[in-house]
Structure 1
Amino acid sequence: MMSTEQELRAFGRLISAISGGHVMSREEAFDAYRQVILNLQPELQQGAFLSAHFMRKPSIEELSGAWDAIDTYDTAKVTAKIDGPVCDIVGTGSDPLKTLNCSSPAALIVAACGLPVAKKGARLVTGVSGASDIFESLGVDLDAPLACAERSLNEAGICYLPGEAFLQSGWARLIASMRFTTAFNILGPLTRPCGENNCTVIGAYAPEVSDTMIRILLEVGIESALSPYGMVDGKDPKEGIDEFSPCGPTRVVELRDGKIEEYHLTPEDFGVKPCRFEAIASGMSARENADSVLEVLEGNYDSSAADFFCMNASAALYCAGVAGDYRQGTAMAREALATGKASRKLEELIEYQGSAASTSVCS
């Protein structure tokens, strides 16, 4: 239902104020984004607000209020009936250098190490394939009910949550019509479709984005988080990847116990031999990238791609406190691959979220 004339004018005044430099409180931002998400303002006013707010550079308090609105009004939820940590591994996309999809196989490896993973993702943002494209190629039905994902999480220790499934009408409507950057580009990877998710590894397409996302996660109550921005030796540091890099240093912003710190890591910190970027570069199609994932899961353990996946799995294990440090986490990830546990975890995921699941397991 459209707002009253008084509400329309009030929103218009807010747009003008933001354009002039006004900074909203968290509550004010929550209400403004609520009106956008619920389509309570004309599209012209919605677009003007989103553009003005992003161009003025949103504050952490404002972005936290916007996150509150997305979480309250537009995020369908699954429930983890699990004691202990529940992790998520995701990247922002939009990174300058395009790699093999890493967070998807890393999630399978992490789950094989015994850490439950509620992994979210979406179709490609930039490049060849996003997590949804990869999991679909591997046999996951993106149209399966969220009930299937919830059961998979609770019984198999892993689920895949496509943004197409858990983000409801507001997000879908806005993303379909926008062709410009807004706060949603930052907030999308921070959504929490599993309310029990309390630790996350979230790669960033630029160093400053890591700082912003971690500060928002602190505000919204995440207990521990890591945000890597990976670099490649021999390339401009501004051209990086939204993962821990086996090709050069990685800048990490870490949230733990309410405190934020920044540091740098090298592949050697994970017990990994550095590799050339070409060894982990994206293929030409989602199917090709999915096949690269399968090759590692099915036995190609001594490869740069396997190192890449294990490094990022290690980060999740460290973030959740399952591994004491990155080197130990990498060793655990390698064992999960070598014993076939990670490959079996994919089989379990497909059992619950494959094409047959909605008519059998989740009926």
Structure 2
Amino acid sequence: MKQILKRLFNHETLTQEEACKLMAGITKGECNEAQIAAFLTVFQMRGVKVDELIGFREALLASRIPVDLAAYRPIDIVGTGGDGKNTFNISTCACFIVAGAGYHVAKHGNYGATSVSGASNVMELHGVKFTNRQDMLERSIEKCGMAYLHAPLFNPAMKTVAPIRKAMQVRTLFNLLGPLVNPCLPEYQLLGVADLPQMRLYTNTLQQLGIGFAVVNNLDGYDEISLTDEFKVMTNLYETIHRPSELGFSLVKQEELHGGNTSQEAARIFDNVLQGEATKAQTDCVLINASFAIQVMEPAKSIEECVAIARESLNSGRAQQTFKKFIELNN
């Protein structure tokens, strides 16, 4: 670690193999806290390269508790977090619209760190019991199209660095790794990021990993499509900027997407969307994210067709029925 730190302080980069070996050492407790803090600070100051990120990911996945859902060819819908917008659980809500439309979703999530309510908060408030059992997760995705993977149950190596991350109180390299370490290795991913440099980093990374993906960013700094401004979408097939009006959506005000001051308030908005009782702004925001997730899996379809599929899932009540079935299976 001492030699690696000297190189990093000298603005050198690591190979994929070096990054993997270093992260493996960190997660096995072979480095002291001061060294780990210094290591994390380097990457906050100079950014991480694609090969380094893939190497770090490889080490974390090597120590995961694996789950095999490959037969279902699932998608994960996730935001990086840290955009400071405190929205309600847009990505998690979109998962049930996508599952309600007949696709398979394997959502990897955790408690909120920078917002009032993370995916695990809203799940827990509905009585969901988290599990890492293959049979339970398989039953869930088989019977309702949705499985939820609570990150701490699958990534025991992260416990080593948890106290350091908490003490540092800033976003670190591990926030970037979170969306890349879904233990079931989903075939598809819709990934929301808060800025354009992250967008380029993840796009290049996901292309190397061979995953079907779309990376999205609202140009006013949301880590999802918020419809509050123009938004950019990058996939392995195209790169474009959309205006909400071009896709038949109205511009949304930022305050209309606020998730409230408690997890309970965020969960209420989540329920309202699936029950068809939310505001137009809240509903449209979830629909547009679900639509781009569907297009990741159905690249031959236009985004307008995907919007129609998502809207039908919600308006027919299938998304709500999917959520009810999910709760029943995971309580």
> Which of 168, 189, 192 is the matching residue for 2:179?
189
Match of 2:7 in 1: 17
Aligned counterparts of 2:97 and 2:171: Cα–Cα separation in 1: 33
How far off its partner does 1:186 sit? 0.8
Q: CA deviation at 1:301?
A: 6.5
Q: Cα RMSD over matched residues?
A: 2.0
- Indicate yes or no: 2:208 matched with 1:227: no
Alignment match of 1:207 (pick from 196, 199, 202): 196
> Which one of the candidate residues 105, 118, 136 is aligned to 1:130?
118
Whether 1:352 and 2:316 are equivalent positions in the alignment is no
The amino acid of 2:251's aligned partner reads P
Would the aligned equivalents of 2:82 and 2:171 in 1 still touch at CA under 8 Å? Answer: no
Give, in angstroms, the shift of residue 230 of structure 1. Answer: 1.2
Structure 2: how far apart are the matches of 1:205 and 1:172?
Answer: 26
Confirm or deny that 1:251 pairs with 2:232: yes
User: Considering only CA atoms, is the larger Rg found in Structure 1 or Structure 2?
Assistant: 1
Deviation at residue 26 of structure 1 after TM alignment: 0.7
Q: Secondary structure at the residue paired with 1:120?
A: strand
Q: CA deviation at 1:322?
A: 6.7
AA of the residue aligned to 1:229? N
Residue 64 (structure 1) shift: 1.0
Counterpart Cα distance in 1 of 2:172 and 2:265:
32
Alignment of 1:238-317 (within 5 A): 240-256=221-237, 261-300=238-277, 303-317=280-294
Distance 2:58 2:272 in 1: 40
C-alpha distance in 2 between matches for 1:22 and 1:70:
22
Give 5+ residue unaligned stretches, structure 1. 1-10, 232-236, 355-363
Number of matched residues? 328
Deviation at 1:275, TM superposition (A): 2.5
Residue in structure 1 matched with residue 160 of structure 2 by the alignment: 173
> Which amino acid in 2 is paired with 1:246?
L
Name the SS for the 1:45 alignment partner: helix
Equivalence for 2:102:
114
Shift of 1:323: 6.8
The more displaced of 178-187 and 210-219 is 178-187
SS at match of 1:82: helix
1:120–1:160: 8 Å Cα contact kept in structure 2?
yes
Is 1:61 aligned to residue 38 of structure 2? no
Where does residue 36 of structure 1 map in the other structure?
26
Q: Identify, as 1 or 2, the structure richer in helix.
A: 2
Structure 1 residues 312, 173: closer, same or farther in 2, change over 3 A?
Answer: same
Distance (Å, rounded) in 2 between the aligned partners of 1:181 and 1:106: 25
* Per-residue deviation, 1:77: 2.0
Change (3 A) 1:166 1:243: same
Q: What is the CA–CA distance in structure 2 between the aligned matches of 1:35 and 1:213, rounded to whole Å?
A: 24
Counterpart-to-counterpart distance in 1, 2:2 and 2:135? 40
| 1:158-205 deviations in Å (ceiling 9; x for gaps) | 11111122221x21231233224432121111112113x111011012
TM-score normalised according to structure 1 size: 0.85
CA distance, structure 2, for counterparts of residue 353 and residue 50 of structure 1: 36
Please name the residue that 1:158 is paired with. Answer: 146
